[in-house]
Structure formats: C-alpha cells, structure tokens
C-alpha cells in the first residue's frame, strides 16, 4: 500500500512505473541478523516477477 513503503509487493516503485528495486533497500527495517540470505530470495522473487511480466507481454 502506498505509504507503507517505496515499492509494491512486486518490488515496483509506487512513483516510477517499471522501476524495480531488488536489493537490501527493500527491507523495511534493520533485520537484526545477517541479511544476505533474506536479500537474495527477495531479489530472486522480484527478478522472476519482472521476467513473468515481460513474457506476459510478449506472448
């Protein structure tokens, strides 16, 4: 929801269409433990979503 973060659940910016964020900056707060294993699957999911959205448009 706008106001809860800079991007939506797919990592896409609320403000700039097709601007995706897929690094540690999408974590809403400091996680308190080593974050890399969390950042990697988040980036993977965002990347898959981008790939799906591209293939939806080409098929």
Instruction: Summarize as ranges the residues that interact with ligand FAD (CB under 6 A).
Output: 23-24, 34-37, 39
* Min dist. Cβ of residue 46 to ligand FAD (A): 11
* Angstrom distance (rounded) from CA 26 to CA 39: 9
* Min dist. Cβ of residue 52 to ligand FAD (A): 21
* Min dist. Cβ of residue 54 to ligand FAD (A): 21
Q: Which is nearer to ligand FAD, 34 or 59 (CB)?
A: 34
Alpha carbon of residue 59 to chain centroid: 24
Question: Which CA distances in Å does 3 have to 7, 26, 27?
Answer: 9, 14, 15
């Amino acid at each position: 929801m706008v106001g809860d973060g800079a991007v939506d659940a797919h990592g896409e910016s609320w403000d700039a269409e097709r601007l995706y964020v897929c690094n540690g900056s999408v974590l809403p707060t400091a996680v308190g433990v080593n974050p890399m294993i969390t950042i990697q699957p988040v980036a993977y999911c965002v990347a898959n979503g981008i790939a799906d959205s591209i293939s939806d448009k080409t098929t």
